[in-house]
Chains A and B, each alone.
Chain A
Amino acid sequence: MQLSVERVSKQYRGNLWALRDFSLELRPGVLGLLGPNGAGKTTLMSVLSTITRATSGRVLWNDIDLAQNPNAIRSVLGYLPQDFGVYPNLNAVEFLEYLAAAKGLDAPTSRKRIDELLNLVNLNDVRKRLLGGFSGGMKQRVGIAQALLNDPQLLIVDEPTAGLDPEERVRFRNLLSELSGEHVVILSTHIVSDVEATATDIALISAGTLVAHATPEELLRQVEGKVWEDVVPSSEMQAIKQRYLISGTARRSDGVHVRILAPSAPNGAQPLVPTLEDAYLYCLNAHRAGAAA
């Protein structure tokens, strides 16, 4: 099981490049795709899920070119788009039955899968309720269920935890972790904690290019010894922000506790254990500085 993205570029009208020479090699596991808004994450998801065609480059699923045979990937694909709708006059079971038929599943299997998936996403008690009456979080869970209908080998989920309450978010993270052993999972998000909890690999994307592709441990190693905490009065915050890259602040009775990313310790600052969010900010900042230079 292998997904290869080879020098994929995508250009929209108006000479706008959403992806440029993007390459990636994926095997079973969860890839956390992290990047700021407009970085090209959703475009990459759309290309991989055969919704849109790359301007150049190739995507290979087990060495089969997606452009030559898109159905090779579609037959094993589960896709949860960032923005999707449901048919309001169908209930959850009917909607999933419809999509199961569209995906070519036979009737007995789809009935079983739908029952199990509704249980999995905690919608069993509302299975007969019309989707028009569902809240955003419940619709999102229907979306998760439909993505898993065909037991996908390749699962692409774009901002899957948007609209989920904390309990459901944890449940979904656990589900992704469970799937990671035998599936290629691509989790696109800008919520670093989702990636922290589930990803076996992380790809950082910015301005349509790949900034880094590494394990979480490797990324964390990059910022080891570069994260500091300083306590400053509120009046000095503006000056600190101008001098250093800040990854967090917290107001306390003794002043503002500032989380600083810097190669060496600012005066009086104490070292901290880096988090993935620190690594994310550090890498992006370094990439932007490199690009500007």
Chain B
Amino acid sequence: MNRTRLLYHLVRADFLERVRRYNFLVTLAFAVYLGYCCVTGKVVIRLDQYRGVYNSAWVGCLMALVATMFLSLIGFYIVKNTIQRDQETRVGQILATTPITKSFYTVAKMISNFAVLAAMVAVMAIAAVIMQWLKAEDPHLHLWQLLSPFLIFALPAVAFTAGLAVLFENIPGLRGGAGNVIYFFVWTALLAVPAATLDKGGKVSEATYFRDFSGIVSVMSQMQQDLRSIDPTYKNDAALTIGDTATSKRFLWSGLHPTPALYWSRVTCVLAAIALALLAALFFHRFDPAREWRLKKAPTQNPAASNLEGPALPAQTAGHLTPVQHTATASSLLRLVLAELKLMLKGHRWWWYAGAGIIFIASLASPFDAARGGVALAALIWPVLVWSQMGTREARFNTASLLFSAEHSIHRQLPALWIAGVVVTAATNSGLAIRLLIAGDHQGLLSWIACTLFVPSLALALGLWSGTSRFFEAVYTAWWYIGPAHHTPGLDFLGTTAQSARPETYLLLTAGLVVAAYLGRRAKLAYA
């Protein structure tokens, strides 16, 4: 079989496996929702008080940039499990015995990631056509102007995201939840670095195109230039905004002025994606169980020795077993909580416990403002991988049938899990509670309680409904960054300032999430 055909089949099989899953429909629905947000004006490109007339050029660029922005973030979490799936399904071990090289495999995975994300881009492109028709501000449909931004910007950007996903999946330390959290900051940095050029208001140099993986700066700087030539009073403000943004003025934008540098920058983006996949090959374990084991957790004994069967000793007979009285007691619930706590807290590296300890000490020893600010923020991001296991562990480790065939499992194991999550949250953030108590800050304490109940409830509900830890890791990290880290009213679940605190809202939300979690678990069981 020639290599092109082999590549085609590798990509095709992986693509079909993913698009035939229920999750893919959900992600497509998300792409449709993004399109809807643009149609209804919830997402706009705003230049001071201006926005462009919804002609093909503007609509195409708007939709392409929205696709780029969101798919480069959400898309990463959607596709970053392709090698893990091969590992879990054991298909990887079969592939490892074929002549496929490591680099060929990682590049194929990058392309299949790209294919999945490109399908979502295609949905957005269709939405762009519908949007122009619905808005009806310009009846002339120019297909090239409408669709070329998807080709020039969105597809290379999602290719780059696909490459990053493969790289993250292969590098130890980035393949798990930590990588999911870190990617959010990588993504923010990738957008922020070229965006700083926009704020300066001057003409964007062609070199900036090469740093602008998303293409947002490349497009918006051209829009700024064109607006400046129409309205010299324009103050250089430019943003892709979410929410009901009022734009009182319109201007007619004739479209992109692509330069060779712009095209080359996009080609570079695609080449960078391939380079990332090739780099990933250096770390790829080729499904070697010895390497997989070493990369996961530090074993307590030689992994080779672990394959030894247990010693052949004379065993007891069933007749010697202690009889059991079938009584579910309150103490067994407590033991279940303790067991859930043990499950949550065991298996981390030493530095995780050290970090939690340092954060606790810092929250007691640092000035009050710091304890409520930076230290509390650290306490709220440190256990993110502990929370993200909530509600997903049974599926991940295939223990659901053992647990769910137990008596009253939904009324015992689920509350025990939730309580354990609350205990972990309270414990890791207990320094702040002590400081608030000492300071007599009752409002702050109420916010702390709301936060302590809210975070594990969010983790449990998202885990149970999504079935994957990645969803919580992505949503929570973004929420933490936008809310508590930036004191955004309504989103600040910790209540870092009196102005941004909304404890009552979060207590109510917690109640809703607990109900959602119950319904999520209930939906997975044949019987309550």
A positions within 8 Å CB-CB of B:
46, 49-53, 66-67, 70-71, 74-77, 79, 81, 83-90, 94, 97-99, 101-107, 109, 112-113, 116-117, 119-126, 129-130, 132-135, 137-138, 141, 143, 146, 148-151, 165, 167-168, 171, 174-175, 178-179
Q: Contact: B307 with A135, CB < 8 Å?
A: yes
- Report chain B residues within 8 Å CB of A87: 343, 393, 397, 399
CA A178 to CA B317, docked complex, whole Å: 8
Q: Contact: A122 with B321, CB < 8 Å?
A: no
Q: Contact: B321 with A151, CB < 8 Å?
A: yes
Chain B residues numbered 365-411 whose CB sits less than 8 Å from any CB in chain A: 393, 397-399, 401-409
Distance of A100 from chain B, by nearest CB (Å): 8
Interface stretch of the complex, out of B67-75, B221-229, B297-305 = B297-305
Contacts A52-B526, A83-B398: A74 and B321 contacting too (C-beta < 8 A)? no
Distance of B485 from chain A, by nearest CB (Å): 31
CA A256 to CA B117, docked complex, whole Å: 59
Contacts A51-B404, A74-B405, A123-B310: A107 and B399 contacting too (C-beta < 8 A)? no
In this complex, the interface size class of chain B, counting residues with CB under 8 Å from chain A, is 35 or more
Q: Contact: A97 with B339, CB < 8 Å?
A: yes
Q: Contact: A175 with B399, CB < 8 Å?
A: no
CA A84 to CA B213, docked complex, whole Å: 44
Contacts A133-B300, A178-B318: A51 and B406 contacting too (C-beta < 8 A)? no
Contacts A89-B346, A129-B306: A103 and B401 contacting too (C-beta < 8 A)? no
Q: Contact: B331 with A141, CB < 8 Å?
A: no
B positions within 8 Å CB-CB of A:
293, 296-297, 299-301, 303, 305-313, 315-329, 331-333, 335-336, 338-340, 342-343, 346-347, 393, 397-399, 401-409, 412-413, 416, 526-528
Closest to B401 in A: A81
Q: Contact: B527 with A70, CB < 8 Å?
A: yes
Distance of A214 from chain B, by nearest CB (Å): 26
Q: Contact: A94 with B342, CB < 8 Å?
A: yes
Q: Contact: B308 with A122, CB < 8 Å?
A: no
Closest to A111 in B: B322
- Report chain B residues within 8 Å CB of A46: 401
- Report chain B residues within 8 Å CB of A146: 402
Closest to A46 in B: B401
Q: Contact: A135 with B342, CB < 8 Å?
A: no
A75, A90, A104, A138 — which one has the most chain B CB atoms within 10 A of its CB? A104
Distance of B290 from chain A, by nearest CB (Å): 12
Q: Contact: B406 with A103, CB < 8 Å?
A: yes
Closest to A78 in B: B405
Q: Contact: B335 with A97, CB < 8 Å?
A: yes
Q: Contact: A165 with B339, CB < 8 Å?
A: no
- Report chain A residues within 8 Å CB of B318: 120, 148, 175, 178-179
CA A101 to CA B332, docked complex, whole Å: 5
CA A50 to CA B328, docked complex, whole Å: 19
Closest to A109 in B: B324
CA A165 to CA B323, docked complex, whole Å: 29
Our pick among A97, A105, A134 for the contact of B306 (Cβ within 8 Å) is A134
Contacts A99-B406, A130-B299: A122 and B347 contacting too (C-beta < 8 A)? no
CA A10 to CA B204, docked complex, whole Å: 65
Our pick among B313, B323, B325, B401 for the contact of A125 (Cβ within 8 Å) is B313
CA A226 to CA B300, docked complex, whole Å: 58
Our pick among A51, A75, A174 for the contact of B407 (Cβ within 8 Å) is A75
Given A135-B306, A135-B308; 6 other pairs, CB 8 A cutoff: A88-B296, A94-B342, A98-B342, A106-B329, A133-B305, A165-B309
CA A246 to CA B85, docked complex, whole Å: 41
